[in-house]
């Protein structure tokens, strides 16, 4: 293949099904993924009020097994993974030695000496390489399981009822950030109560060969409850409203977890040394004394939509930068997340705007998230 030819697009096990549903497809991290099936606003609102069904098979699963699996993950990641109970999951990060964020992850403890690390599609290879490199000296195996799983997510207030009609697994007893093996519509699955929408919901890890059968069963079971297929476009507006960071936007190798306001994921008290400890100790001290910039929410007073990279301004000076922006279907106004100078980060700070192609549009500074579901 010549260097000018694009790399082969990867397709999920549900690719033909998405096309049969008329999905608009897009390239996402080298995968051909559904962007939307119809109206992204309708898909977004379905997840907020009823339920939505997503194909997330582009996410990267990496299995870590062996007597030293917990010790390896404690060394390689910033969280205390050894303290995660079997059947539970934890949000964490993997950092470089200089503290920069390589990726944010969810780690599931499947058994005493078996973990599944789920990485973002765009970083799966980077995470796999880092874990493999950091495994030296540990009695543990790092296995690339990206082709072993398809991942479906059902999200929204109606999702527990829909899923309950297809499984005898104890969904009521399944806490947020927990996972259990079970059978859904006759398909073996890891059922996890996790998601990226701000709503209650589940992520189902299954064999790729079973993905279409499961998608169809969920679609049929959810029909009366108003479940609709959902693409990546509404997943982005849902996570933005919920104030959830997206790698490459709110999280980058230029930022430490403390810069991103997520210092809580770094566990200095855990046993053993971990990659980035020294740099992160310094970053924690800096963040306490004099945070450079703070991640805030911005709500538009007008109708113009801010986009990633747009400057945030106050008093004629640039005071920050938009990391994510979109129209918010729930709020009915454009919203954004942005890193701004600490002096302008307090909710209600007056005189803040976004430079949208030379015009300074007024914005209200608010605390994140923009949206929190009623429990």
Q: Is residue 1 part of a domain?
A: no
> Residue 8 above 90 pLDDT?
no
Q: Are residues 121 and 175 in the same domain?
A: no
Q: Are residues 137 and 170 in the same domain?
A: no
Per residue in 182-232, pLDDT (tens digit) is 999 999 999 999 999 999 999 999 999 999 999 999 999 999 999 999 999
Average pLDDT over residues 238-251: 98
Q: Is residue 257 part of a domain?
A: no
pLDDT of residue 291: 83
CB 150 within 8 A of CB 215: no
Q: Is residue 271 part of a domain?
A: no
Q: Answer with the one of 98, 117, 142 that is the final residue of a domain.
A: 142
Q: Are residues 161 and 232 in the same domain?
A: yes
Q: Is 112 annotated as a binding residue?
A: no
Q: Are residues 103 and 49 in the same domain?
A: no
At 2, is the pLDDT very low, low, confident or very high (cuts 50, 70, 90)?
very low
Domain hosting 42: range is 10-56+149-241
C-alpha span between 55 and 70 (Å, rounded): 30
Q: What is the CATH number of the domain that holds 349?
A: 2.40.30.110
pLDDT of residue 6: 60
Q: Are residues 104 and 231 in the same domain?
A: no
Q: Is residue 297 part of a domain?
A: yes
Q: Is residue 273 part of a domain?
A: no
The reported pTM is 0.96
At 272, is the pLDDT very low, low, confident or very high (cuts 50, 70, 90)?
confident
Average pLDDT over residues 239-259: 98
Q: Answer with the one of 112, 142, 172 that is the final residue of a domain.
A: 142
Q: Are residues 183 and 302 in the same domain?
A: no
Q: Are residues 64 and 116 in the same domain?
A: yes
C-alpha span between 81 and 226 (Å, rounded): 38
> Residue 1 above 70 pLDDT?
no
Place of tokens 């059947």: 87
Q: What is the CATH number of the domain that holds 113?
A: 3.30.70.1400
What is the overall mean pLDDT for the chain?
96
Per residue in 317-369, pLDDT (tens digit) is 999 999 999 999 999 999 999 999 999 999 999 999 999 999 999 999 999 99
96: how many CB neighbours lie within 10 A of its CB? 14
310: how many CB neighbours lie within 10 A of its CB? 21
Q: Are residues 30 and 72 in the same domain?
A: no
Q: Are residues 49 and 164 in the same domain?
A: yes
Q: Is residue 371 part of a domain?
A: no
At 104, is the pLDDT very low, low, confident or very high (cuts 50, 70, 90)?
very high
Q: What is the CATH number of the domain that holds 15?
A: 3.30.1360.120
Per residue in 60-74, pLDDT (tens digit) is 999 999 999 999 999
Q: Is residue 185 part of a domain?
A: yes
- Tokens standing for residue 352: 């803040």
Q: Is residue 251 part of a domain?
A: no
CA 49 to chain centre: 21
Q: CA-CA distances (angstroms) from residue 7 to 1, 4, 29, 33?
A: 9, 9, 11, 15
Q: Answer with the one of 87, 110, 142 that is the final residue of a domain.
A: 142
CA 305 to chain centre: 22
Q: Are residues 163 and 192 in the same domain?
A: yes
At 90, is the pLDDT very low, low, confident or very high (cuts 50, 70, 90)?
very high
- 302 burial class (0-12, 13-18, 19+ CB within 10 angstroms)? middle
Domains in the chain, number: 3
Burial string for 222-244 (b: 16+ CB within 10 Å, else e) reads beebebbbbbbbbbbbbbbbbbb
> Residue 121 above 60 pLDDT?
yes
Q: Are residues 346 and 197 in the same domain?
A: no
Per residue in 289-318, pLDDT (tens digit) is 888 899 999 999 999 999 999 999 999 999
pLDDT of residue 87: 98
Q: Are residues 170 and 64 in the same domain?
A: no
């Amino acid at each position: 293949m010549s260097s000018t030819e694009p790399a082969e697009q990867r397709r999920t096990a549900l690719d033909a099904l998405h096309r049969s549903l008329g999905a608009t497809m897009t390239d996402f991290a080298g995968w051909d993924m559904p962007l939307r099936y119809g109206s992204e606003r309708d898909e977004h609102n379905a997840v907020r009020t009823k339920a939505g069904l997503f194909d997330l098979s582009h996410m990267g699963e990496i299995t870590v097994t062996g007597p030293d699996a917990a010790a390896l993950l404690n060394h390689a990641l910033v969280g205390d993974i050894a303290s995660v109970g079997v059947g539970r999951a934890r949000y964490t990060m993997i950092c470089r030695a200089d503290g920069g964020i390589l990726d944010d992850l969810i780690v599931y403890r499947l058994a005493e000496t078996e973990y599944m690390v789920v990485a973002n599609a765009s970083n799966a290879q980077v995470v796999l390489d880092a874990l493999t490199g950091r495994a030296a000296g540990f009695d543990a195996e790092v296995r690339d399981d990206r082709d072993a799983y398809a991942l479906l997510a059902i999200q929204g207030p109606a999702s527990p009822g829909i899923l309950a009609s297809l499984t005898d697994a104890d969904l009521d007893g399944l806490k947020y950030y927990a996972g259990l093996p079970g059978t859904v519509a006759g398909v073996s699955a890891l059922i996890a109560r996790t998601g990226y929408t701000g709503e209650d919901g589940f992520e189902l890890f299954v064999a790729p060969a079973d993905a279409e059968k499961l998608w169809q069963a969920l679609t049929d079971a959810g029909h009366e409850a108003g479940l609709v297929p959902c693409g990546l476009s509404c997943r982005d507006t849902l996570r933005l409203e919920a104030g959830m960071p997206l790698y490459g936007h709110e999280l980058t190798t230029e930022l430490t977890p403390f810069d991103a306001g997520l210092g809580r994921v770094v566990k200095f008290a855990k046993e053993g040394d971990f990659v980035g400890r020294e740099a992160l100790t310094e970053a924690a001290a800096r963040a306490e004394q004099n945070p450079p910039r703070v991640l805030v929410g911005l709500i538009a007073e007008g109708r113009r939509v801010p986009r990633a990279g747009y400057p945030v301004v106050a008093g004629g000076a640039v005071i920050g930068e938009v990391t994510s922006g979109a129209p918010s279907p729930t709020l009915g106004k454009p919203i954004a997340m942005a890193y701004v100078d600490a002096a302008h980060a307090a909710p209600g700070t007056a005189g803040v705007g976004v430079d949208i192609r030379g015009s300074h549009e007024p914005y209200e500074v608010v605390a994140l998230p923009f949206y929190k579901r009623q429990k």
